[in-house]
Structure 1
Amino acid sequence: MTVSDQLLVRRAARLLQELGPRSRVVLSQLPLVLALTVVFTLGPASSEVRLRPGFLLGLLLQLVLAVLCFAVPWWRLGENAPLAIPIVDFVSLWFLRNGGGAEVTGLGSLAAFPVIWIAASTLASGWALVLCAVGPLAIVLPTLLDALPSPSPSEWTIFVSLPLIMLATAVAIRIAGAGLRVQERQLRAAQGHLHRLLERAEESERLLTGILDTAEIGIVAVSPDRAAARCNRRFRQMLDDAGVPSEGTPASLDRLPLRERDGRTPVPPDRQPIARAAAGEHIDGEVVWLGPAGRARALSVRARPLDGDGGGAVLAFGDVTQLLEDVEAKTDLVRTVAHEFRTPLTAVLGHLDLALEAPDLPAGLGRRIGLAQAGAERLLRIASDLLTSSAELLPLVPSRVDVGQVVRERAESALPAAARADIAIDLDVDQPLPARADPFRVGQAVDNLLSNAIKYSPSGGTVTLSARAEDGWITIGVADTGMGIRPEDRPMVFERFFRSDDARRAHIPGVGLGLAITKTIAERHGGELACVSTPGAGSTFTFRIPAAAG
């Protein structure tokens, strides 16, 4: 049986299952009734044959069966109860064939209809094949009995061929039915598996949606063509908070009204986070402003491309508006306090200088005034550092300068502090070291590094200050023999106001701004500040800026 035949049979079986039990019985009996109607009306049998008692009895049985097909409540009976109809069909065909005489012996071939019905039923195969063989055999048996004791070869052929053909038909139908049932079971199993997969997918979708909507960050998934596959509730809320209509999202997410961190410069379409993420770019904590002035929100953006051939990316948006406002408020406070400190401290230092210049100043009082002056100068330096660290952009006045000369001058100015701490300064500076840089800021960076090295080195230690030109860079190195920095503290040493637990326990003075300012100075010159440290053995800080071209 071909695939198309199997599909046809399967559709017919499905149609029969959709019908009620009575309709199925009627449709199963209908082909035999139609065949007998054609034979009775158009067949070669004479009117004499049609009036023979056996022939009429066969027709009467068919009429009774037709009425039973409609009258019996088959849905109340067992599944195989309707098989009584094809069994009685064998009896009806026996009377029609054998009661009508030699003219209608061909009616025995109509046994194929009840054979098909029985073979296609759910009756056990053994019983079904027995019925399909015995029924046709009983129909042709009178022909053989009439020819005894010496039947002709044609009579033997009729007797043997009809039961064998019917049995072969039944076997073929059972085999085909078994194959169809196997395929049906496989199809049902596949459908069940697909249904379970669909349920799991729906459950996963509900779980994912719940997780995304519970998150306190906005999440957007984008495809390589910049189309957003989905975004969570929090992201839509961010759009609403910023005065950006969330209707139409996620279709237009690559054209959001974004501005740079300064709050003024618009972000061009090809540099928007959605476009960059769709192109496979990593984004780590960049800050942009979303929405018009008055309702704008500051968003911290992170993006990671998705693995696999499909491409795409996932973006996370965190609302950092309050954080930036708090930082700005803190910066304003620090700037105001530092500025207010500088004015009275300058006045204090001026009066202390005048007091120290008095000719009749007692020695003991002069020493005390000198200590007060040193303390005031330290407070003034702290105030200057606070002002520097609170500046949004560290101002530079670059010029052509000999960095080697600047380093030597700062080393000389640090000698008194090093002598008081019993620290030796080992100087190794090449000259000249031309660069285009701000000499004041470079000197400030060297001062900060030297001050830290002296403070953190033990009495009798050595601080090595070096400066040389290497591969287009000027490298200033400051190495000490102090306590060193623990590995877990090393990533934070350049953060503002950070001080290690070791420094606090050793009561080493400072507010944690020197390294942060020095790093800013290096970066503003297009360079970098690096640190290598071994706990208990000392640290080496390397300050690098570009050398002058030519």
Structure 2
Amino acid sequence: MVVQRAQKYLQRLRSTSRVALWQLPLVAAIVIVAVAAPGPWNSESARPLIIAGFLLVCGAGAACLTVPWDRLPEQTVLVIPIADLVSIGLIRNAGDGTLQGLGTLAVFPVIWIAVSMRSVVWTLVTCFVGPLLISTPTLTEAVRRGFPAGASYSLLLPVLMLTVAVAIRAATAGLRVQERLLRTQREQLRALLAESQSTERLLAAILDAVNVGIVAIGPDGLPVRSNRRFKELLAASGWIPAMSAGGPKLAFLAQDRRTPVAREQWPFVRAAAGERIDGEVYWLGTGPDAVALSIVARPIEGPEGGAVLAFGDVTALATAVDDKAELVRTVAHEFRSPLTAVLGNLDLVLESEQLTPDDRLRLEVAERSAERLLHLAADLVASSSNAIPVRLGFADLRPVLEGRADAARLAAVAAGVQLAVELEDSLWARIDPLRVGQAVDNLLSNAIKYSPDGGTITLRARRSEGWVAIEVRDSGMGISADERERIFERFFRTSEARRSDIPGVGLGLALCSWIAERHGGRLEVVSDPGRGSVFTLYLPASGPSD
């Protein structure tokens, strides 16, 4: 670790400073020796070698600072540690042997050579031969004297320097491998960072391009990231300052624009708890700046949790729906007043005994038509408010169904349709007879209208697994598969009905479905184009027979 840090530090320096730092330890050591042990300087035989070695070291140090090494080949700098080996040899072998310990200073140039020289072979040869040449005079003298005690130090010096060189070379090779690996990883991280930043910019552009407010929240319900449209929606409702560290403090109102939504029902809270939300409408804010939002939420899979919410601005649509409902209510109300007057006067006229049979028949037709218009106006009012009052009580459905079948026979005969009735004896249920009769009226009326070529209509009622099933079967034009899922929508009419110019406004089946739901039941349809349809109204069975 120390070697690695030193290498990184040296790499950050300029070439002259780096070379000077390599040379500095040796120069300092020789200067310290010269000051601490001045004895050899007094020897006339040793003085020339010591001066030569000292000048060589100092000259190499000066060259480190003056030579522009960055302009020369990289390996040229190795002349400095080789010169250091020579200077160490000159100083060590001068005098009477008192400076032989300076041979250990060879470790400085040996480390330099081991780190810097490219060739492994030449590195080992230089690091062995250099110290060996330094020890050669001592070894020669030891051979001449028969290897006296202490001569082994001279033999160990080249071996120790070679060992140091091998260790440094191995460590340097490992560091170089790590450096290459780190460089590769750094390049990979840089590429991943660039790709991540590019993806981030692309994602931000995509999110800001859509006309839907999108926000990601954490498990605590706090916004983590949002797009431009979400911020605009909040700003439009005047609630952007409320997005604080305490969480989104927004005034969510129910679809009626009056009922505050409890905090636990806020979409942020529900989504953070992992709940999926599909197209629920909330009003955000109050007054003219209120915004209607259709919200979709999906949880984020994974241990981090959180969710993503999409806010669609449906203010214009919600306002248009309210305006349409208000228009329908107004028109229906305006219809009911004159129709009530017409029916009242028709009742008075029909009480007269001076009417001829033909006139009475015509007046009764007019009365039935006016009553149908009055019922249609009531249906329009009910459909516009989406609230049909239902008063439940225990009753037998058989008399209700028989009465509705009798009322429909005249229209069936006029249309050339046969009406068959198959009812079980006991059909008790908890119902509102008026609303159930209204639903059956609509089903029978539709069956008659949509059987232009005659045929048979069957009204059947039976008990089945806890339900009373009221079935109206016809052999008319039928309904296509792609339109079957929409027939219970308000004001929807099939393409075949429009082409056939059959009168209607598309409210009957919607009202039948609502009536079934208010009773805790359901309305189902099975249809085959060209072969007819079967509508089945399921109501929970209950009463004396249970």
The answer to which of 117-126 and 183-192 deviates more is 117-126
Aligned residue runs from structure 1 range 227-238, under 5 A: 227-238=222-233
Quickly say closer, same or farther: Cα 1:370–1:122, change in 2 above 3 A: farther
Please say if 1:519 is aligned against 2:513: yes
SS of the aligned residue for 1:221 comes to: strand
2 CA distance for matches of 1:42 and 1:465?
126
2 CA distance for matches of 1:77 and 1:543?
99
2 CA distance for matches of 1:492 and 1:36?
101
Please say if 1:116 is aligned against 2:111: yes
1:459-497 CA distance string (max 9 Å, x none): 442222222344443322212222322221111111111
Q: Which amino acid aligns with 2:282?
A: V
Q: Which amino acid aligns with 2:312?
A: G
User: Which residue of 1 is the match for residue 176 of structure 2?
Assistant: 181
Please say if 1:198 is aligned against 2:170: no
User: Which residue of 1 is the match for residue 404 of structure 2?
Assistant: 410
1:528-550 CA distance string (max 9 Å, x none): 22222233332222222334466
SS of the aligned residue for 2:460 comes to: strand
Quickly say closer, same or farther: Cα 1:371–1:250, change in 2 above 3 A: farther
Quickly say closer, same or farther: Cα 1:400–1:355, change in 2 above 3 A: closer
1 CA distance for matches of 2:342 and 2:39?
142
User: Which residue of 1 is the match for residue 499 of structure 2?
Assistant: 505
Identity of aligned residues (%): 50
Quickly say closer, same or farther: Cα 1:441–1:360, change in 2 above 3 A: closer
Deviation at 1:458, TM superposition (A): 5.3
Q: Which amino acid aligns with 2:474?
A: D
Please say if 1:331 is aligned against 2:325: yes
Deviation at 1:511, TM superposition (A): 1.9
1:156-214 CA distance string (max 9 Å, x none): 85665333332232122112101100011111211222222222222222222222222
User: Which residue of 2 is the match for residue 162 of structure 1?
Assistant: 157
2 CA distance for matches of 1:74 and 1:80?
10
Please say if 1:245 is aligned against 2:240: yes
1:292-337 CA distance string (max 9 Å, x none): 3342222222211122232221111122221111111112222222
Determine if contact 1:499/1:512 at 8 Å carries over to the other structure: yes
Please say if 1:395 is aligned against 2:382: no
1 CA distance for matches of 2:540 and 2:245?
46
Deviation at 1:443, TM superposition (A): 0.8
User: Which residue of 1 is the match for residue 267 of structure 2?
Assistant: 273
User: Which residue of 2 is the match for residue 30 of structure 1?
Assistant: 24
Deviation at 1:276, TM superposition (A): 0.9
Q: Give 1:488's match in structure 2, choosing from 482, 493, 500.
A: 482
Determine if contact 2:138/2:151 at 8 Å carries over to the other structure: no
1 CA distance for matches of 2:38 and 2:157?
21
Quickly say closer, same or farther: Cα 1:171–1:545, change in 2 above 3 A: same
SS of the aligned residue for 1:531 comes to: strand
User: Which residue of 2 is the match for residue 63 of structure 1?
Assistant: 58
Deviation at 1:382, TM superposition (A): 4.1
Q: Which amino acid aligns with 2:428?
A: P
How many pairs does the alignment contain? 542
Determine if contact 2:491/2:505 at 8 Å carries over to the other structure: yes
Unaligned 5+ residue runs, structure 2? Answer: none
Deviation at 1:355, TM superposition (A): 9.0
Q: Which amino acid aligns with 1:141?
A: T
2 CA distance for matches of 1:508 and 1:18?
91
SS of the aligned residue for 2:221 comes to: coil
Deviation at 1:345, TM superposition (A): 4.9
2 CA distance for matches of 1:208 and 1:226?
22
Q: Give 1:48's match in structure 2, choosing from 15, 19, 42.
A: 42
Determine if contact 2:217/2:223 at 8 Å carries over to the other structure: yes
User: Which residue of 2 is the match for residue 220 of structure 1?
Assistant: 215
Q: Which amino acid aligns with 2:532?
A: G
Deviation at 1:134, TM superposition (A): 2.8
The answer to which of 148-157 and 495-504 deviates more is 148-157
Determine if contact 2:275/2:299 at 8 Å carries over to the other structure: yes
Determine if contact 2:428/2:542 at 8 Å carries over to the other structure: yes
The answer to which of 234-243 and 433-442 deviates more is 433-442
Determine if contact 2:142/2:151 at 8 Å carries over to the other structure: no
The answer to which of 93-102 and 145-154 deviates more is 145-154
SS of the aligned residue for 2:527 comes to: strand
Unaligned 5+ residue runs, structure 1? Answer: 1-6
Deviation at 1:19, TM superposition (A): 1.8
